[in-house]
Structure formats: structure tokens, C-alpha cells
Chain A
Amino acid sequence: MAPTDSATEERTPTGGTTPPLIRFDRVVKRFGGVTVLDELDFSVAAGRNVTLIGPSGSGKTTILRLLMTLIRPDGGSITVDGDNLTHMVRRGKLVPADEKHVRPIRKKIGMVFQQFNLFPNMRVLRNLTEAPVRVLGMDRDEAEIRARELLEMVGLADKADAHCAHLSGGQQQRVAIARALAMRPKVLLLDEVTSALDPELVAGVLDLLRDIAVSGDVTLVCVTHEMGFARDVSDQVLMFDAGRVVESGPPEKIFSDPDHQRTRDFLRAVR
């Protein structure tokens, strides 16, 4: 079933006339017998940073993992930048997408993980150059120049030759952000990127992400418990509960005057 109707576009306040960068169309995801996402619809316009909030277990991280193709949906379809991420046409029929079909679309998406997941078998610089060289076919010298620029940006120019294991958590996460940006993604997924950090290291990472958010080169999709950060960087906030969007809107609205009781309860609980 091809996702052709424009119902979701009309429903989102950010739709406008340009086609959305990301669109979820009646996406279903189950783990065992538990339905985590229940026919979820939502879309994100290019250049509009989005934050997903909601109680744990509401399916926020699942959305990011679906977008990154780390898991597959059990129903519905996902479109990224006009390409169907979940389905492809084979012999005139719409079938689940295979690895080959997904690969070019996946390149438009980057992800930063809660646990950083730097490659310990590579020094910091190699972490940043390996994918551009191997995946984008970039020249190694060129990739290194770009990697050093990114390290400069995240304030770790002097760590290019360090082992990842020798960096602090905050430094590792900044390297991980630089690594994701090195692929020049259109969408950057941030999965609770500060949750594993010691409190005193959080601010540095968030400051960096604020800078990236205002630069406008990449659309951020964040899952976070840092409400202050969410308010600063996002153009749109989606409140999730039980696999559905309870309400969405600009941060000023959601954080100061939410429509739903669930949202009010949640915001009171996290503050």
C-alpha cells in the first residue's frame, strides 16, 4: 500500500506546501505482544527541528530507530526526502525494502546515540574519516581536512590522534556528533544524547547542539529529557504517549500552555 494520501500533511502545523522531509504513515511497531507504535502518523518539514517528548516507553526512541533502519516497522510506511524508506517496487509490486534499496536513503540520515558508540578500534580522526571515505567515496586527504574542521568545531582539535577510550564521556559524545556530521546528513537523529553523561559534562554537549541547530544545515530530530534544550532548539515539539502523538505545536505553546492533561502531567513530572 503506497502512502499517497496527504492527510498527515494537512494535520501537521508545519506542513505548508513543500513536501515533508520525513513522513510516518500509519506506522505500526510491535515488540513481542506489545504494540509500541499504533498506526502513527506525523511529518517533519525540512529545516524544522523537532523534539519528541513523552514518558519512557512511549515509543520515542523506536521512531528514531525506525528512521535509522535499525529496526523495521510491522506496518505502514516511512518516507524520507521523497524516498520510501520501508518499501520498494519490484516487478510492479510494492514489497518491503531490502538493504540495497535502503542504502542511498540511509545516507541522508545520521544518528547520535545515548552511549556514543565510537569505534574503539579507530583513533578519533579515523572515526570521522572512515565512513566518508568508504561510503561516500571521498578522497582520504579531503576527508581528513573536513574531519579536522569538524573536530575544531566541537572543540577537540587536539584529540585527533587520541584513542576514544581515553576521552571523557562528554568528549566522546562531541566526537560522535562530529562523526555523524561528517556524512553531511539532511537529518540528524539525537537519541537522549546526554543521558549517559555526568551532569557537569551535559552543558558542553548541549551548547554544541544549539550551535548546530541554529546553523540550519541539518534538521534535528531529538529525543531528550532536557526540556530547556528542547525549548531552545526545536521549532516543533511532539508529545507522545502510548505510541501516539497526543499533541504537537511550537515549544512556547507546548511548554507553557499545553492543551492536554497528559502533557501537563508529564511536564510537571519531569520538572
Chain B
Amino acid sequence: MTFGLFKLLLDGLWITIQLLVFSAALAVLIAFTAGLARLSRRRAVRFFAAVYVEFFRGTSALVLMFWLFFALPLLGWQLAPLWAGTLALSLSFGAYGSEVVRGAVLAVSPGQREAATALSFTPWQRLRLVVLPQAVPEMLPTFSNQLVELLKATSLASAVTIGDLTFQAQSVRLATGESAQVYGLILGMYFVIAFTLTRGMRLLERRAKANLGLGRLVTGPEAPLGSEPPTAPAGPPPLPEPTGHGQGGGI
């Protein structure tokens, strides 16, 4: 493989990263909007959110991408290929993500919402100041998995002629015929990105836990590499054990 061809792969890598970042950002936006809409008090809002989620969870991301790329222009709406790819990915992953958001919000104990009501917070303040700050750390482990799935799914964009890493690998294969080397190389590149993303997300998870006063930042040895942090059970957070300091409740 010449340097010129390797440069081609790097160009592809850059497009892959752009696809990943744009569609992750848009998917998160969609996930929160649809996830919260499914918990709305208005029946119509809940209904439309559910239709969106079930439809886009039901269909294939690749078919969706083809549809946006080939069929949508015939309805008079032409998207730049990169945007068609981004939109297809974020609509699919936003639908999955909305379920994660919904589940995590429901897992915040009702007592938290009641306490927020008792302090006269508005519904929006309850959500923003109390519910979401507790729900987001619960979402992170699943979002971390979804992010790797999204990275893998960016390769679908090559099918609609977006010059991502997979697309450029095909070009290089055609030029050199070195299938094993080329595909082996980019599989390695994908794995390195996935590995980096997973580690980064794990750091975020740990920080989020620490913000809630959970996790092992206070005492105890660092968790060994590769061991999963124990996930909190669904439902109300467990009451902490009395810790002994400040003995008793006397004033």
C-alpha cells in the first residue's frame, strides 16, 4: 500500500469520525425529546412519540439510509449524502436511545419528584434540577454500548457512496487487491476507536457516580481493569447504611 492510498484511508477515517460525532449529537437530542415525549401528560404527544420509536426501531438502518438517499429526492427533497447518512443513523439510534432515556427517568424514585414538588419547583425545574441529573448517570452504560453500535453503523454510509473508512477501504482494495491487509487494517482502526470510546465513557460513568456520592472515589481500591462497575438496580436508590460518623442523631 502506497502512502497515497494510506492517505485515502485517513480521509475515510475523518469522514467516519464526523459521521459518528454528528449522528451521536443528533441522536442524543432525538432520544431526549422522544423519550420525554413518551412520558408526557398529553396523550397525543405520547402517541406520536411511540409511533416514531416503534417505527424506527422496527426498520433497518441501511434501508432507511437508502430511502433517504434514493427515494427522498424523488419527493423533491435532496439531502447531501453526509446528511442523509447522519439523519438515517440518528433517527435509528435516537429511537433506541429514547427507550433508554424513558427507562432511566422512570427509574428515578417517585419520592424525588415529590420532594421537588414539595419545594414548589415548576415541572420544568423538577425535570432539569432533580430528575435528569439523577437519570443521566443511569443512562451512561447503555449509551456507551450504543455509541459503539453507532460507530459500527457508520460503515453503512459507504453503501450510499459516502467516502467513509469502509468506502475508502473498498477503493484501496480495488487499487491493490490486498483484501486481507486492507480490511484487517480498518477492522483494527474501528476497534481502536471503539476501545477509546468505551474507556472514555467509563471515565464519564465514574465521574457521574462520584457526583451522586456513589462509587469508589472515597474509599476502597481502584477497580481492576476490565471489571464492570456494579450497575445500580432499577427502582428507588438503596438507602445508604448509617455510616457511623457523627454517631446517632443527637444534636
A contacts B: CB pair < 8 Å: yes
Chain A residues in contact with chain B, CB under 8 A?
A: 68-70, 99, 103, 106-107, 109-111, 113, 115, 117-121, 130-131, 134-135, 154-156, 159, 162-171, 173-174, 176, 179-180, 183, 196-198, 200-205, 207-208
Residue of A nearest to B133 (CB): A121
Residues 198-251 of B contacting A (Cβ, < 8 Å): 211-214, 218, 236-237, 239-240, 242-246, 248-251
Residue of A nearest to B215 (CB): A165
The interface residues of chain B lying within 8 Å CB-to-CB of A103 are 120, 122
The reply to whether B249 and A119 contact each other, CB–CB distance below 8 Å, is no
Chain B residues in contact with chain A, CB under 8 A?
A: 109, 111-112, 114-123, 125, 129-130, 133-134, 211-214, 218, 236-237, 239-240, 242-246, 248-251
The reply to whether A163 and B119 contact each other, CB–CB distance below 8 Å, is no
The interface residues of chain B lying within 8 Å CB-to-CB of A134 are 121, 125, 129
Q: Which of B116, B123, B213, B242 is A198 in contact with, Cβ under 8 Å?
A: B242
Residue of A nearest to B112 (CB): A117
Q: Which of B111, B112, B119 is A179 in contact with, Cβ under 8 Å?
A: B119
The reply to whether A121 and B239 contact each other, CB–CB distance below 8 Å, is no
The smallest C-beta distance from B134 to any residue of chain A, in angstroms, reads: 5
The reply to whether A203 and B212 contact each other, CB–CB distance below 8 Å, is no
The smallest C-beta distance from A116 to any residue of chain B, in angstroms, reads: 8
The reply to whether A106 and B250 contact each other, CB–CB distance below 8 Å, is no
21 interchain pairs, CB-CB under 8 A? A69-B117, A70-B118, A103-B122, A107-B120, A110-B119, A111-B118, A115-B236, A119-B112, A119-B130, A120-B214, A121-B130, A134-B125, A135-B121, A162-B213, A165-B240, A167-B246, A174-B251, A200-B249, A201-B242, A204-B251, A205-B249
- Given the known A-B contacts A134-B129, A197-B249, are A183 and B213 also in contact in the complex, defined by CB atoms under 8 Å? no
Most buried by B among A121, A131, A159, A207: A121
The reply to whether A168 and B121 contact each other, CB–CB distance below 8 Å, is no
The interface residues of chain B lying within 8 Å CB-to-CB of A196 are 239
The smallest C-beta distance from B135 to any residue of chain A, in angstroms, reads: 10
A176 and B213 alpha carbons, distance in the complex (Å) = 17
The smallest C-beta distance from A85 to any residue of chain B, in angstroms, reads: 13
A250 and B245 alpha carbons, distance in the complex (Å) = 39
Top 4 closest pairs, chain A to chain B, by CB: A204-B249, A163-B213, A170-B249, A165-B213
The interface residues of chain A lying within 8 Å CB-to-CB of B249 are 168, 170-171, 173-174, 197, 200-205
The reply to whether B122 and A117 contact each other, CB–CB distance below 8 Å, is no
The reply to whether A170 and B239 contact each other, CB–CB distance below 8 Å, is no
The smallest C-beta distance from A136 to any residue of chain B, in angstroms, reads: 8
The interface residues of chain B lying within 8 Å CB-to-CB of A179 are 119
The interface residues of chain A lying within 8 Å CB-to-CB of B214 are 120, 165
The reply to whether A70 and B212 contact each other, CB–CB distance below 8 Å, is no
- Given the known A-B contacts A120-B134, A134-B125, A196-B239, are A164 and B251 also in contact in the complex, defined by CB atoms under 8 Å? no
The smallest C-beta distance from A166 to any residue of chain B, in angstroms, reads: 6
Residue of B nearest to A68 (CB): B118
The reply to whether B118 and A110 contact each other, CB–CB distance below 8 Å, is yes
The smallest C-beta distance from B118 to any residue of chain A, in angstroms, reads: 4
The interface residues of chain A lying within 8 Å CB-to-CB of B111 are 113, 115, 117
A198 and B111 alpha carbons, distance in the complex (Å) = 20
A164 and B130 alpha carbons, distance in the complex (Å) = 14
The reply to whether B120 and A135 contact each other, CB–CB distance below 8 Å, is yes
The smallest C-beta distance from A115 to any residue of chain B, in angstroms, reads: 5
The interface residues of chain A lying within 8 Å CB-to-CB of B115 are 111, 113, 117-119, 176
Residue of B nearest to A171 (CB): B246
The smallest C-beta distance from A110 to any residue of chain B, in angstroms, reads: 6
A113 and B239 alpha carbons, distance in the complex (Å) = 14
A204 and B251 alpha carbons, distance in the complex (Å) = 6
The smallest C-beta distance from A149 to any residue of chain B, in angstroms, reads: 14
Residue of B nearest to A158 (CB): B246
Q: Which of A69, A106, A168 is B246 in contact with, Cβ under 8 Å?
A: A168
The smallest C-beta distance from A198 to any residue of chain B, in angstroms, reads: 6
Extra 5 A-B pairs, beta carbons < 8 Å, given A119-B130, A200-B248, A207-B250: A68-B118, A70-B118, A111-B114, A113-B114, A119-B112
